[in-house]
Structure formats: C-alpha cells, structure tokens
Structure 1
C-alpha cells in the first residue's frame, strides 16, 4: 500500500507542476494588454478552471493506471513468494528426511556401541568385585595382625610400666630404709644421751622427795612435749607453706605474665605548650586580670616563668588540673583571652567533663566485660581516673587489680567475672571520699549498696583493708591482686619523711619483743631482719617469734604489699690460741 501512495503522490505532483507551467508560459508569451476589461478577466478565469479540471482528470487517470500497475505488481510478487515458499518447503522436507535417516543410523550405531560398553563395564565390574573381595580379605588379615601387635605392645608397655614402678618402689623403699636406719641410729644416740642425762638427773634427784621428783618429771615431760609439738607443727606448716607457695607463685606468675599494665604516676603539676612566648602576656592580661580570673574559676595556680613556650598548672587535685588544662588549651586555640571568654570556656569544659568521666567509666566496664553494672556507677568509676593514692592512678590500679584477680580466678576455676567486678570496685569510695570525708571503705559500701552490688563486692571493699574477714575465695584473690598492684616497683611513691617514719616504726615494733638484740629494716621496708640472743631464744622459740612479730606488724602498721620477717639466731664460740 505504501508503494501505491508514493506513485500517486508523484503523479499528482507532476500534473500540478505541468498545469502551473502551462499557465505561466502563456502569461509570459502574451503581451500585457493595455487595458483589460472584466470580461477578459472572467474569460481567463474560466480558461484557468478548465485547465485545472483537465489536470485533475489527467491526474485521476494517472492514479488509476498507477493503481492497476501496483495491483499487478503485488499479484506478481505474491505468486513469486508462493513459489519461493513452496520450493523452500520442498527443500526442508527433503533435508528433514535426510536428517532423519542419518539420525536413525547414528542411533543404531550408538545402541550397538552402548551394548558393547555395557558388556565391557560388566566384565570390569566383576573383576573389580573380585579385587575388592581380595583386598577386604587382606585388610581383615592385616587388621587382625595389627590388633594382635597392639595387644602385645600394650602388654609390653604395661609390663615395662610395672617394672619401672617396681624399680621406683624398690628405690623408695631403699631410701626409706636408709632414712629409717639413720633415724634409728639418731634415736639410739638420743636414747643413750637421754639415758646418760637421766642417770645424772636420777643421781641428782635421789635426795628429792616423791612429790618433788614427780613435779620435776612432769615439768620435763611438759617441756619435751611442747618442743616436740612445735617441731611437728613447724614441719607440717613448712610442708604446707612450700606447697602453697609453689602453687601461689605459679598462679601469680601466670597472671602477671599475661597482664601488661600501664604504669601511670600522677604528679601535682601539668604543663601546657604555647604556640609562642607572646601568649604569656595575653594569659596574664592587663594588670593580671586574666590570670586571676582563670585561677579563681579553676582553683589552680598558673606558674608563668622564664621557661620558653610553656605554662605550668599546679594543683593537688588531678580533676582541677585536667579542667584547667582543657580550658587553657581552648583559650590558646581560640586566641580570645579575656575574663568574659575565660568564664564561658571554663563553664563549657565543666559541662563536658562530667560526660567525659561517665563515658570513661562505661568504657572501663565494657573493657572488663562487666555489662551488668548499674549505669549509675559509671560516673564514679570514671572519676577514679582523677584520684591518686601514693601518686598511683586509682582507676588504673583498680583495672590492674581486676585483671589480676580475674586471671587468678580462671586458673583456680572460680568466678572470674565476680573477681573482676570486686577488683574494679574495691576502691570505688575514693571517688568521693575527699568530698564527703570519712573512710573510703565505708563510703564505697554505701555507694555499692545503693546501686545493688552483690555481697562479694561489699566484702572485698572491707576485707582488702582487713576491716572484716574474707568470706569468699574471689575476695581473697582481690586482696592478693591489690597487694601485687600496690607493691609493684614504680607503682607508688611516698614522701621521704613518711618513708623514714614507717621504717622507724617497723624497727621499734620488732625491738619491743624480748630476746631481740637488734632489728634492721631493709629493701625499702619490704623486709625486716631480726637478730636474737641465742642464750634467751631457742630455735623453736625463734620460729614462734617470727610469727608473733609478723602478727604484731599487721595489727599496728599500715603498709602496701607485704613485709618479710627474718629471725636470725646465731651461736659463736671464740677461743684464742696463744
């Protein structure tokens, strides 16, 4: 249909163009009249209409012829297409038939080959089954042989073990026999000596009355029984102590090796670096207004000396120093330093400090795996970072105690989480004891009771200062970890005056005992060496003296870590050859 429309359009264009060309040619060839009447114009119109009608008729004729030609072309095209389709279908049928024959032939070949392959596989399968049966038979034989060998090996190992045990028993029996022989010899010697002394004593007391002899005998038996009891107690205690010390050292060493703690010692001053030395004048301000305002608002002393580009903040309170440091750094960064701006910055830092402290406490609890601690304690735990004890940071000390107690609890199969909890909170009262006054243990107990802490935590707060007995094994580990953390070299420091007074008091306590000739505090007060008079103190009494001295030191002194008491009893016999 599109071809017919195209042809008609072309013929119409040609017809209209021819008509217009005829009109224009006539106009161009005729000479323009000098005067044209209405009749002439009307005639020309009629002529033009006639020409247009003739052009339309010619165009219609051309269109009709074009349509007939288009129909003829379409019919021819359809016949050609039908012929081509018929030929293509015949060719496709021929190809389909050929393909079907070839496919049938290939299928027959494949069937034949598959049968041959199945027969081959069946033969191979039978061969494989035979081989598998042979292998299974061999494996069964090997398994029986291996089991027999294993039974023989176990029997040999058992016999060898029995032989070794018998050898050990024989060796032990020989050692025991030799030991018993030595003991018997010593006993014989002691019996001979005792018999000799008894004979002498009997000769001496022969003149005594019956009552006096009985009293003398009872006194001597009592003394000997007491000495023997002390010896037995000493031997049992030494064996138990050696075993306990070995296990304790093993556990403590393991815990300390696993913990790599941060050592932080707080001092009373903090330095702030300045971009240039001109900031010192701006910090002081006109007539000292800026520095006076800053010190009044923060409660610290600003030391501005000749040290280049450094300002020192001095205060005994770490929280005040931290607040002053942050405020001063912000003022220096801002550049505007005047009383109104100082008040504004200090107020901002104070607001942010509480949130910073609470977040620090929360992070500490998360770090230790204590997710069920009441959030109300986060602020007090974080506040421990700004408290010190003998210049040791209390929060870091509490974390160290928690880690050590938890590790030792894991080694002993106890509640490690409870040990860490009690270790973290054992000094919680120090967060506010300087504000409320009173013992930090009492304040810590009240604080933990308010937030629902369990009884082991309360016991740890009291027991680590010996204010009440230890009721839980985890609390005992907290006390040991607290002593370890405090006694670690570099953890704490004290003034020279307090250090000297502590050593003097330690020596005075030791010298107050009867029979002590001299006492020396060594190793910074971690050990005291006691020299006793051998005429007044026997070996057994020296043993009891060491225990009594240690007990009295615990009762009358407060000290970090532990103090080793060494009692030395020495007998010297001097003679000169002349």
Structure 2
C-alpha cells in the first residue's frame, strides 16, 4: 500500500512539474535568441564596414593600374612613332639614291648606244675593206674564195693525216714496247717454270700377239669370242693380215684402254672364252677407273689445288684419255693451271683461284661424248653442280670468249689456255681448217682499196701486203695496217697473234738525153 501511494505521489509530482519546466526552458530560449540577433546585427555591421573599406582600396588600386598602363602605352606609342619616322627617312634616302642611279644608268645607256652606232659604222667600213682585199687577193692569186678554201682544206687534211700517222705510230710503239716487255717477262717466267709432257694419241691401239695362232683363238668358234669382247667393251677389233698384231678402234679412249688391258690379260692367261672375257673386262674396267682416280688425284696434288669434290677428281682423271688436236687434255689442263698460277703471282692476283680455274677450265671435255652441248657449257654445269665459286664458274665460261671476261682470273686462264694451245708443237690442226684460215686472211687484206697483192706466211701468223704507191702514201700505211688488223680481229678466230706487214715501193725513173 505504501508503495502504491509513493508511486501515485511521484506521478502527481511529475504532472505538476512538467508545465513549470516547459516555461523555464522557453524563457531561456527567448533570452538566447535575443542575444543571437544582437550578435548577428553586430556582425553584419562589421561586415558592411569591412566591405566598404575593401571597395575603396580596390578603387584606388584600379585607378593606379589604369594610370600606369596609360603611361606605358603613351611611351610605347611614342617609341613606335619615332621608329616610323626613322624608317620614313631611310626610305626617302633610298628613293633619292635610286633616282640618282637611274639617272646615271640612263646616261650610260645613251653613251653605250652612241658607241654601238660607231662600232656598227666601223664594221661596215671593215667589211668594205675586207671585200676589197678579197677582190685584190683573187686578182693576184687567180683563185676564187671557194677554190682557196678547198686548197687550204686539202693541205690541212694532208698535214693532219701525217700528224695522225706519226701520233699513232708513236703511241703504238710506246705501248707495244711496254706491253711486250711486261708480257714477255711474265710469259717467259711461266713457260720456263712449267715443263709439262704432251702425249699425242690416236683413235686406234695396237695389241701385240705372241703368234698368229692367237688370232683364231681370239675370234673363237663362229666368232663368239670376238663378238663378246666387242659387245662388252664397245670397241671394234680389226684382225687383218698384219703379223702378230690386232688393232683396236674406238673414238672413246677409255673404252679402248679397257679393251686393250682386257685383251692383253686374256692373251697372257691363254684361256679365252665368253665367261673369261667378261671377267677380264670387269677387272680391266675397275683397274681403269682406279687409274682414272689416281690420275685425277695426281693432277690435283701436282697443281696444289685443295678441297676438290671427289667426282671432279674422277672427271679430271678421265681427261687423260681425251685429246684435243693431238694434245692430251689432262696435261694441257695441268699446264694451264701452272701457267695461270705463275702469271697470277706476277700480277698480284689470287694464285690458288687461278690454279683451280686453270685446272678445271676444260672439265666439260670429260663428258662431251655423253652429254649434248659444248665443253664450255658442260663445264659450267659441272662446276655449278659441285658448288664451285662464282669466280671459277665465270673463268670456265669465259675462257673461249663465250662471255666477256670480267675478272683478272678469267683473263689469266684465257691467256694461259692460249699459251698452252698455241705454242709450236702443242697441237695438230686440221689441214682443211688451216687452208681456210690462210685464205680468209688473204681475202680480208685484198678487200682494202690500194692493195695490190698479199701473202699469208709463217703458218698464218703473218700476212705481207703489197700496196700500190700511187694510192696509199707512207702516212696512210700506218692507218691501213691498223684497219686490216682490226678487221682480222673482228672477223676471224685464231690462236696467238697475226702480224700485218705492209710493203710500199716507190720508184723514180728518168732518162739522160
């Protein structure tokens, strides 16, 4: 009960105290609101005062800035006016100077015009004097102007022909002396240091027999032995009345060598029948192939050429059984390699490259029986196939002038090939070709005006030309000789060089009465 009374009393106290508290807080809030309004008014008043002060300061600063800018502008304007005045004065001075120059130029032109007029008058007078002098000269000399001009040109042409002939003779003589001396030294050294053996082979081989009875055994019953031998080797056996000898005939020297070795072995063995013949031919073929390889290796070692493909070495060995105009091709190639290497050393070129190119320059001749085409084209294809250098390939291609030589090595190989082939005794030439070359030489010389007779002598290495003295003068002889030599170079192919020798005979006849 007491608790309930306490609770009721507390609630009644709260109900009475709440309105009193609300009024108290209202009075406090009104008092704070009044002081806040006073403070706000004070702050607004101070802000207005500050803004007014700032405004006055900004106005003063703006006026100062305007005054400063106006002062600077007036100064700049004054400077520009001064500069414009100075430029105007300079322009005025230049105009006055140009006026003076124009005036002087006009005076000079007037003076020049006067001088031109005077010069024209003087030229007219000179023409009159010249014409008068020409008339006097024509009367004195008895020649017209055209006749005198023709006379002078004729004399001048004769003088120029004489001078040209003298100059050509001097230059040719000097160049010939220098070139001959140098070439003679190089070629002489090369030939002296190279002494290769040359073997002339023919298209037949002779095999000696111990007796004539052996011929019948070689022929065999109904000719079976000789047929087997000819079939296996591709060689013709000629058995005639020649005592104790059999002739083997074939253009392929390798096949002929195989047949010769096989036949000699059969004769020594005495057992001659088809099976034995086949066995001996196989052995002979292997022996020849081994010998071909050995010959190729010997040529490579002799010339000092290294790192050559084995197939190229075999092709080199095959060239031992090939001849050209009676000259052994392998011996010729070895000699060319030596000559090219020696000349390369003399002129400062690549010696190893020159030897290599010289050794395989005729490599195509090893396969000319098996492949269509010239030995040059075949040789180029072989060199490309076995990865030879472009310089070597070019030397092979250019050694017969199929293409123009572009390297020193190509020129050296060409020269060495000509030296080896053209020297006396190196080759045998077909008689018909020899006669045709002599006739062609004489035909070329006879085609020139003023040639009376000509004779090809010294085996076609010199041509002597008799000229008509009333057609060709001494001075014109030099020019004519050069023209004949040039035509021979253009129209003919020949080893070495051909000497053109012109002979002119002058006779003077008189009678004492």
* TM-score past 0.5 threshold: yes
Match in the other structure for 1:249: 184
Q: Which residue of 1 aligns with 2:495?
A: 560
Tell me: CA distance 1:216–1:370, structure 2 relative to 1, closer, same or farther (3 Å).
Answer: same
Give distance in 2, aligned partners of 1:562 and 1:528. 11
Q: In the alignment, what sits opposite 1:349?
A: 284
2:323 — aligned with what? 388
Equivalent-residue separation in structure 2 for 1:468 and 1:570 (angstroms): 43
The match for 1:523 among 446, 449, 458 is 458
- Residue 205 of structure 2 is aligned with which of 255, 270, 273? 270
CA distance in 2, matches of 1:205, 1:379: 90
How much does 1:572 deviate?
A: 2.6
The structural deviation recorded for 1:211 is 4.8
Question: CA contact under 8 A between 2:161 and 2:476: conserved in structure 1?
Answer: no
Distance 1:568 1:349 in 2: 62
2:160 matched to 1:213?
no
Distance 1:457 1:529 in 2: 40
In 1, the alpha carbon distance for the partners of 2:309 and 2:486 equals 39
- CA displacement 1:8-33 (0-9 Å, x = unmatched): xxxxxxxxxxxxxxxxxxxxxxxxxx
**Does the Cα contact within 8 Å between 1:269 and 1:314 map onto a contact in 2?**
yes
Match of 2:237 among 276, 280, 302: 302
Structure-2 separation of matches of 1:203 and 1:316: 84
Q: Once the 2 structures are TM-superposed, how far is the Cα of residue 408 of structure 1 from its aligned partner?
A: 2.1
Alignment of 1:103-118 (within 5 A): none
Residue-by-residue CA offset, 1:465-492 (whole Å, 9 max, x unaligned): 2223222223322222212211222211
| Counterpart selection for 2:403 from 449, 468, 478 | 468
Aligned-pair Cα RMSD in Å: 2.5
Please state whether the residue corresponding to 2:464 is helix, strand or coil.
strand
Report how far residue 403 of structure 1 moved. Answer: 1.1
In structure 2, the CA distance between the partners of 1:287 and 1:533, relative to structure 1 (3 Å rule), is same
Aligned to 1:5: none
Q: Match for 2:359 among 408, 424, 432?
A: 424
Q: 1:455 to 1:544 in 2, by over 3 A?
A: farther
Q: Which residue of 2 aligns with 1:290?
A: 225
Cα distance in 1 for residues equivalent to 2:480 and 2:461 = 18
Aligned twin of 2:273: 338
Is 2:247 the partner of 1:321?
Answer: no
Match of 2:126 in 1: none
Q: 1:370 and 2:305 equivalent?
A: yes
SS at match of 2:248: strand
Indicate conservation of the 8 Å contact 1:205/1:213, yes or no: no
The 1:545/1:205 distance shift into structure 2, 3 A limit, reads: farther
CA distance in 1, matches of 2:425, 2:140: 65
- Cα distance change, pair 474–305 in 1 and its aligned pair in 2 (3 A): same
Write the mapping of 1:477-496 to structure 2, written as runs, cut at 5 A.
477-496=412-431
Which whole-Å CA distance do the structure 2 matches of 1:250 and 1:239 have between them? 17
Please, what TM-score do these two structures have when normalized by structure 1? 0.61
Q: How does 1:543-554 map to 2 (within 5 A)?
A: 543-554=478-489
Relative distance call for 1:349 and 1:551 in structure 2 (3 A) is farther
Structure 1 ranges of 4+ moved more than 4 A: 202-205, 574-578
Output the CA distance in 1 between the equivalents of 2:508 and 2:308.
67
**Residue of structure 2 in register with 1:194 after alignment:** none
The 1:552/1:293 distance shift into structure 2, 3 A limit, reads farther
For structure 1, which runs of at least 5 residues remain unmatched after alignment? 1-201
1:51 maps to which residue?
A: none
The alpha-carbon deviation at position 265 of structure 1 amounts to 0.9
Q: Is the 8 A contact 1:265 1:491 kept in 2?
A: no
Deviations 1:499-554 (A, max 9, x none): 22222222222222222212211122222222222222223332232233233223
From 508, 524, 532, the equivalent of 2:443 is: 508
Q: TM-score, normalised by structure 2?
A: 0.68
Q: Any conservation in 2 of the 1:300–1:313 contact (CA below 8 Å)?
A: yes
Matching of residue 398 in structure 1 with residue 333 in structure 2: yes
Inter-partner Cα distance in structure 2 for 1:275 and 1:266: 24
Distance 2:289 2:258 in 1: 11
Q: Distance in 2 between matches of 1:382 and 1:234?
A: 49
Per-residue CA deviation, residues 167-216 of structure 1 (Å, 9 max, x unaligned), is xxxxxxxxxxxxxxxxxxxxxxxxxxxxxxxxxxx999934443553454
Distance of 2:138 and 2:421 partners within structure 1: 63
Post-superposition shift, 1:442? 1.7
Partner of 2:26: none
**SS at structure 2 position matched to 1:465:** coil
Shift of 1:396: 0.8
- Write the distance in 1 (CA, Å) between the matches of 2:225 and 2:412: 52
Structure number with higher relative contact order (C-alpha < 8 Å, ≥ 6 residues apart): 2
Deviations 1:79-107 (A, max 9, x none): xxxxxxxxxxxxxxxxxxxxxxxxxxxxx
Deviations 1:415-471 (A, max 9, x none): 222221121122122222232222221222222122222333233323332223222
Q: Is residue 401–residue 423 contact of structure 1 (8 Å, CA) maintained in 2?
A: yes
Paired residues of 1:507 and 1:519 also in contact (CA < 8 A): yes
Q: How many corresponding residue pairs?
A: 377
* Secondary structure at 1:524 match in 2: helix
SS at match of 2:482: helix
Match of residue 476 from structure 2: 541
Report the 3-state secondary structure (helix = DSSP H, G, I; strand = E; otherwise coil) of the residue aligned with 1:567. Answer: strand
User: C-alpha distance in 1, partners of 2:231/2:511?
Assistant: 79
| Partner-residue secondary structure (3-state), 1:528 | strand
What's the CA shift for 1:308? Answer: 3.4
Which position in structure 2 is the counterpart of 1:236? Answer: 171
